[in-house]
Amino acid sequence: MPEFEWQFTLVLLTNGVMIGLMYALIALGFVLIYKATDAINFAQGEFVMFAGFIAAGAADLAGAPFWLSALLSISGMVLLGFGLERVVLRPLIGRPVIAVVMATIGLAAVLRGSATLAFGGGTRAIVMPVGDEPIALGAVMLPPVQLVGAAVSIAFLAAFSWFFLKSRIGIAMRAVADSQQVAMAMGIDVRRYFALAWAMAGVVSALGGVVWGAMLGVDNQLALVGLKVFPVVILGGLDSIIGAVVGGLIVGIVENLAAGYLDPYVGGGTKDFAPYILMIAALMVRPEGIFGRRRIERV
């Protein structure tokens, strides 16, 4: 029976925060699309996987250096985002939500299949040029890959927050999310902003694919990371960037605490479902999430 040790807890918490930030990055892709277009993207995990494959493939097959393969992955995912919006999502504008949901589920299968088709079924590696030697952060030793992942996450979460809150394009995007018809009447080309949202989700997925791919290796299993997006966004709020960060941190920490304190008693496995129990509880208590917007009701 493990004694309570502050250092063990600290390790779990630090790990939770690091992983949580990286969940937040992936969840951000989901939030961007939901915020701007009201579409629920069930293919977010496959986006991440596909991006990982592009990066790993470029390095493995063409011998590209890390930075180049990351850049290739980002530009590839931007193109994919634009393309999917144009070909698959745009014709579905105005259709029931379920049509979009089913389309993205179909898309997920297509992406999984075509990644295997193009890059083979084996696991590929993404090698970050940062070494393997753990770095001491106070009393906690952390692998450099995780630190880079967390740093990238913080940088881009901050950048996207600024973009949405302060830039004119960000304000226009929020206006589109608020009411498409009124936005159109203001001269905002709604379809352009839909495309932009998908492209931005592509960027975020590419970053997620590279950092998660570097940690876990790239194969079909990488798409499973996307499933963690759901507890993150339900907890934080489907349409909130801050919510994605907080939700990501909660999920990361809960997961690690469950792994550290519950798994030894029950023989493992709680790590994988603890966030979902939290999600179900959140749906009952606060369905719009911690930072999600509530409908303003006038009385």
Partner 1 sequence: MLALNNIEVVYDGVILVLKGVSLVAEEGRITTLLGANGAGKTTTLKAISGLLHSERGQVTKGIVELDGERLDRLPAPDVVRHGVTQVFEGRRVFENLTVEENLVAGAHTRSDFASVRDGIERVYDAFPVLRERRHNQSGYLSGGEQQMLVIGRALMSDPKVILLDEPSLGLAPLLVEEIFGIIRRLRDERNLTVLLVEQNAALALDIADHGYVMENGRIVLEGPAETLRQNSDIKEFYLGLNEVGTRKSYRDVKHYKRRKRWLS
Residues that bind partner 1 (CB under 8 A): 168, 171-172, 174-175, 177-189, 293, 296
Measured from the CB atom, is 90 or 293 closer to partner 1? 293
Q: Count Cβ atoms within 10 A of the Cβ of residue 66 and give its class: 0-12 exposed, 13-18 middle, 19 or more buried.
A: middle
Q: Give strand pairing partners of 218.
A: 124
Measured from the CB atom, is 178 or 277 closer to partner 1? 178
Centre a 10 Å sphere on the Cβ of residue 276 and count the other Cβ atoms it contains: 15
The Cα–Cα gap between 106 and 115 comes to 14
Q: Count Cβ atoms within 10 A of the Cβ of residue 147 and give its class: 0-12 exposed, 13-18 middle, 19 or more buried.
A: middle
Measured from the CB atom, is 28 or 177 closer to partner 1? 177
Measured from the CB atom, is 271 or 286 closer to partner 1? 286
The Cα–Cα gap between 263 and 21 comes to 23
The Cα–Cα gap between 299 and 292 comes to 21
Measured from the CB atom, is 5 or 181 closer to partner 1? 181
Contact partners, residue 151, CB within 8 Å, separation at least 6: none
Nearest distance from C-beta of residue 239 to partner 1, angstroms: 9
The Cα–Cα gap between 28 and 197 comes to 11
Nearest distance from C-beta of residue 173 to partner 1, angstroms: 10
Instruction: Determine contact, residues 59/66, Cβ cutoff 8 Å.
Output: yes
Instruction: Determine contact, residues 235/250, Cβ cutoff 8 Å.
Output: yes
Measured from the CB atom, is 197 or 274 closer to partner 1? 197
The Cα–Cα gap between 256 and 9 comes to 9
Measured from the CB atom, is 144 or 170 closer to partner 1? 170
Nearest distance from C-beta of residue 90 to partner 1, angstroms: 13
Helix, strand or coil for residue 45? Answer: helix
Q: Name the one residue in this structure whose structure tokens are 């018809």.
A: 181
Nearest distance from C-beta of residue 298 to partner 1, angstroms: 8
Nearest distance from C-beta of residue 34 to partner 1, angstroms: 14
